[in-house]
Amino acid sequence: MLRYLNQCSLGRTAWLLLAFTAFALEMVALWFQHVMGLKPCVMCIYERCALFGVMGAGLVGAIAPKSPLRYGALAIWLYSAGKGVQLAWDHTMLQLHPSPFVTCDFFARFPGWLPLDKWLPQVFVASGDCSVRQWEFLSLDMVQWLLGIFAVLLVIAVLVLIAQFLKPKRRDLFGR
């Protein structure tokens, strides 16, 4: 399996699939927000940013998958998926154990050089409460689904990282 992941990481298709998956999840989030009328909280906005990081990793990896740029894409993927797991875990704990002393911010805090909430307010402005569970499917909240999605993305990223250190199997005429 690791050899297969190594082979996949050397082609554009797997990287584009990663980017498309993250893009599809972003579109679902925007559908929930703008069509279903669910209000994203600050933690939701940060989780969106982590998904955009995964999408960016897929696009960077697709640019030149056989070059060392692949390792940069893998680093972005690992960081974004790991941060997504952390954010979704903290958000889940806020929902499962609400407390008046532990709340999320009212506004997302982006760096001054990257004011995403000013550039794309339809995507990056928070208007909901982090402790409110707005949507459920199969008895899991949206944030719990995101926790599982980020965990799967992180496990796959770790496996792809491990696969980078495998030497390709040489096959000769006699099968040795």
Positions marked active-site: 41, 44, 48, 104, 130
Residue 11 makes CB contacts below 8 A (sequence gap 6+) with: 65
DSSP state of 100: S
Residue whose structure tokens are 């050899």: 3
Rounded Cα distance between 59 and 62, Å, is 5
Say if CB 117 and CB 110 are below 8 A apart: yes
